[in-house]
Amino acid sequence: MEILNNLFWLFLLLSFLSPLFQRQMLELARARSLQALERRRNSRLITLIHRQEAIALLGLPLSRYIDIDDSEQVLRAIRLTDPQVPIDLVLHTPGGLVLAAEQIAEALLRHPAKVTVFVPHYAMSGGTLIALAADEIVMDANAVLGPVDPQLGQYPAVSILKVLEQKPIDKIDDETLIMADQARKALLQVKATAKNLLQKHLDETQAEALAHKLSQGTWTHDYPISAEEAKSMGLPISTEMPAEVYNLMELYPQPRGSRPSVQYVPLPYRREGPKPR
């Protein structure tokens, strides 16, 4: 009887420790995969990966988006990278907070060495805004980008402004008028950011036209921009996705519970210094 009792407690202990052990092994595999790709490309590799997660017990879906925590971590990774060391960013996201996406995009734009964004599946909305800052956007042949038109709550900014065109001013409530004012400002701000990023690849006239097309409600917000269409727009698109990026994505399965969405080796890198092992 004592042996059965000991076995029971041992089983409970192993059941408790097993998920922790598996998580540690997964984190170790990710770190090794990141460092292996860094060594091959002689770069700093950052991941910005958002999966839809489930809340333990309830099993309710919890969507992940680009937020201030993400921008803080990505900016720190960039600060820890020598200006002459290239940056590779693996991007898998539905988008998120415009402020956070703009911070990341502007920081990447200012990095002197080559910036490459890898899109193995999708980078929509704010994810596309970040991709525009790259010197090269490497997409899977079936991956997509998306429009960057701002959203106010659940409504597209451009659609809110349509109300002013279709109804007399005295028939529109104050809240809608206030939202329309905010929508107009948001459209101008995002277009200006997109134009500034696009001038890395296009002349001013072309950048202005493409920024307008991407930010002013040409399509629905979830319109998929394929690699072919993005390339035809003048974006620096390649479909030569390294196999290591796909392998890395396999190490980010649909998790149970929360985890950091930004990951990198937290050490300063120098071109002339020793390579990370």
**212-232: per-residue pLDDT in tens?**
999 999 999 999 999 999 999
* Measured distance CA(31)–CA(65) in Å, rounded: 23
pLDDT reported for residue 6: 62
pLDDT reported for residue 25: 83
* Measured distance CA(35)–CA(41) in Å, rounded: 10
What is the helix, strand, coil percentage profile of the chain, to 5?
A: 50, 15, 35
pTM confidence score: 0.85
* Measured distance CA(61)–CA(255) in Å, rounded: 11
pLDDT reported for residue 121: 97
Q: Is the pLDDT of residue 209 over 80?
A: yes
pLDDT reported for residue 264: 83
Evaluate whether 37 touches 265 at the Cβ level (below 8 Å).
Answer: no
Output the six-digit token pair for 211: 């920024």
DSSP H stretches of helix in 42-67: none
pLDDT reported for residue 263: 80
The secondary element (H helix, E strand) that includes residue 137 is strand 136-139
50: pLDDT confidence band, cut at 50, 70 and 90?
very high
Query: Rounded to the nearest 5°, which phi and psi values hold at 273?
Result: -85, 180
277: pLDDT confidence band, cut at 50, 70 and 90?
low
Average pLDDT of every residue of the chain: 89
pLDDT reported for residue 5: 66
The secondary element (H helix, E strand) that includes residue 16 is helix 2-41
What percent of the chain has pLDDT above 90? 74
102-123 burial, b at 16+ Cβ within 10 Å, e below that, comes to: bbbbbbbbebeeebbbbbbebb
Note the pLDDT tens digit of each residue in 1-39.
667 666 656 666 666 555 666 678 888 899 999 999 999
Average pLDDT over residues 202-212: 98
